[in-house]
Amino acid sequence: MTHISEEDLVLLYYDEPGVAQDIRKHVAACGECAAAARKLARELDMCNEWSVPEPDPQLGRSVWAQIAPQLEESQSHRFRWLKIASACAVMATLLIAAFVAGQASRHPRPSLTAGLSRQARERILAISLADHLDRAEMLLTEISNVGESDASEMSDDRSRAQDLVEEGRIMRQTLARQGDSSTLALLDEVERFMLEVANSPAKLTPVEMRQLRERIGSGSLLFKVRIIESNLRNEGQKS
Amino acid sequence: MDSGDDIAIGKARRGDRDAFRVLVERHAKAVFRLAYRMTASENDAEDMVQETFLRAWKQIGKFDGRASFATWLHRICANCSLDLIRARRRRQSLYQPPDDEGVDPFEKVPAASPSPERLAQSSQISAILVPALRELSEMERAAFVMRHYEGMGIEEISVALGVQPGAAKHSVFRAVQKLRRVLEPVMSASR
């Protein structure tokens, strides 16, 4: 009687596709091969005792922070021609703009915020931020409330998320000058979530939708957005 | 959310850094786990994660979608880790470093024959397993780690390592044989 080879037992242990049915039947029927399979399994199961340390939950973020400054260089070769063309277009636009500005400077218009006090400008920023967070909250709430079994159409959500990413960046730049770290951290968190939505497929399966909802819940994102939005709204309404 | 990768990959191929950031955040932990199994060092694993994504960004134009993005990243990570291990072995053969610097972390774990009681704890299992993994060839180590710890099939491993499925299968098999030689006495002693 021919017994099963060690190689086939290994394939059987790993449940590799393509292991012939008669090999499985043989192992089930033959005491010697069944014992060999059990012994192999016990030995290989020992390897599972070697555990991997849990990576930092923020690993993706820290890796990104490390590599982001280096990415520009590697892309620059591929897009050099595009950059040159863009630079020429920008230069031409600037020349035209300079000409038009020169004409207009004979009758200068004051900027919208010129003459406003620092306090007034801060109130305007607070209200703008609160509006931005309000829009983010609406999208987060909608995603949180999608039915369990529905496959979800994301086309509209993706474009809204992309708008929020771009809007959020302008807010962050303005806010960075004031050094409000807690609101900045929240804007960063919102941006990362919105990037995920903006880069999701047009239709999400219920499982993918659940993963998105879990992301909102795990970091209490919606809760934080509501709190900061409310604070900003109060700040903006102070007379 | 693997199907979601398609959108981000498409954008990243056109140079969209935001889309690439999404991919980094989605896959960094999985890449870390593979890198740790390959290098047996947390610091090295973190370096390998960075190196993997830098290479991925440079090569994303070549990603053809035949394998999943995760498999493609595994391939890059395995190659980065193998490069590191090879470089360290080369340096070791040229110099005898005065301290741990430049030594394959697998070399740092002392070979031990602890009692069966002690083996109940995973740290002690590591004390036997890690030096045994050190004895494997680079290809065997990579193939075994992918098969046993990452749950990748032989076909997937062959794609990831850029070898024929038969070669991947034999690498896994040879690794299992070698590891069994080390683990068998431990099992017998624990009975």
Q: Which of B6, B9, B53 to mutate to test the interface with A (most CBs of A within 10 A)?
A: B53
Local structure of residue A203 (DSSP, 8 states) = E
What's the confidence (pLDDT) of residue B35?
94
A156 vs B2, higher pLDDT: A156
A77 contacts in B (CB within 8 Å)? none
A50-54, A102-106, A176-180, B96-100: segment of lowest average pLDDT: B96-100
Residue B16: which H helix or E strand, with range?
none
Contact A199 B176 (CB under 8 A): no
| Residue-averaged pLDDT of chain B | 82
Q: Which residues of B touch A53 (CB under 8 A)?
A: 36, 42
The band of B54, judged by pLDDT with boundaries at 50, 70 and 90, is: very high
Cβ distance A42 to B187 less than 8 Å, yes or no, reads yes
Per-residue pLDDT tens over the stretch A131-169 = 889 888 888 888 887 766 656 677 788 888 888 998 888
Q: What is the pLDDT of residues A42-61, one digit of tens each?
A: 889 988 888 888 898 889 99
Per the prediction, chain A carries an average pLDDT of: 79
- The dihedral over CA atoms of A130, A128, A209, A153, expressed in degrees to the nearest 10, equals 130
What percentage of chain A carries pLDDT values higher than 70?
78
Cα–Cα distance, B92 to B77 (Å, whole number): 22
Does residue A67 carry a pLDDT above 90?
Answer: yes
Ranking A152-166, B22-36, B90-104 by mean pLDDT, the lowest is B90-104
Q: Which residues of B touch A196 (CB under 8 A)?
A: 22, 25
Say if residue B148's pLDDT is above 90. Answer: yes
Chain A residue closest to B29 (CA)?
Answer: A55
Instruction: Kindly indicate whether the ipTM for this predicted assembly is greater than 0.85, answering yes or no.
Output: no
CB–CB of B129 and A204 under 8 A? Answer: no
Q: Which residue of B has its CA nearest to A47?
A: B129
- pLDDT for B93 equals 60
pLDDT at A40 over 60: yes
Nearest-CA distance B112 → chain A (Å): 15
Report the C-alpha dihedral over residues A5, A9, A11, A15, rounded to 10 degrees.
150
Position A78 scores a pLDDT of: 52
Whether B134 shows a pLDDT value over 60: the answer reads: yes
Conformation bin of residue A147: beta by default, left when phi > 0, alpha when psi is -120 to 50: beta
Per-residue pLDDT band for A95 (boundaries 50, 70, 90) equals: low
- What is the CA B22 to chain-centroid distance, rounded? 23
Please report the pLDDT score of residue A184 as a whole number: 87
Query: A155-178 and A181-198 helices cross at what angle (nearest 10)?
Result: 160
| Cα–Cα nearest to B186, from B110, B99, B143, B127 | B127
> Does the pLDDT at position B97 exceed 50?
no
- The tens digit of pLDDT for each residue in A81-92 reads 555 565 566 556
Q: Is the confidence at residue B111, as pLDDT, over 50? A: no
In this prediction, residue A98 carries a pLDDT of 58
How far apart (Å, rounded) are the C-alpha atoms in residues B88 and B103?
6
More confident residue, B38 or A113: B38
Q: Which of A189-193, B132-136, B170-174 has the highest mean pLDDT?
A: B170-174
Q: What is the mean pLDDT of residues A160-188?
A: 84
Yes or no, beta carbons of A46 and B129 under 8 Å apart: yes
Position A105 scores a pLDDT of 55
| B51/B150: higher pLDDT | B51
- Residue among B179, B163, B147, B158 nearest B34 (CA): B147
Mutate to test the interface with B, among A46, A164, A218 (most CBs of B within 10 A): A46
Number of cross-chain residue pairs from A and B with Cβ atoms under 8 Å apart:
133
Residue of chain B minimizing CA distance to A79: B15
Of A10, A60, A208, the CB nearest to B28: A60
Find the mean pLDDT for residues B21-40: 93
Q: Which residues contact A152 (CB under 8 A, 6 or more apart)?
A: A146, A203, A204, A206, A209
Shortest CA gap B70–chain A (Å): 15
Nearest CA in chain A to B48: A63
B108, B127 Cβ separation under 8 angstroms: no
Which residue among B18, B29, B126 places its CB closest to the CB of A50? Answer: B126
Q: Do A59 and B54 touch (CB under 8 A)?
A: no
The predicted structure's pLDDT at residue B101: 47
| Mutation choice for B interface testing from A67, A166, A191 by most B CBs within 10 A | A67
Find the CB nearest B22 among A14, A195, A205. A195
Nearest chain A Cα distance for residue B95, angstroms: 31
Q: Is the pLDDT confidence value at B174 over 90?
A: yes
Residue pointed to by tokens 């498409």: B10
- pLDDT confidence of residue A104: 56
Question: B140 is written with which tokens?
Answer: 């065997």
User: How many angstroms away from the CA of A200 is the closest CA of chain B?
Assistant: 5
Q: Give the span between the Cα atoms of A62 and A13, in whole angstroms.
A: 38
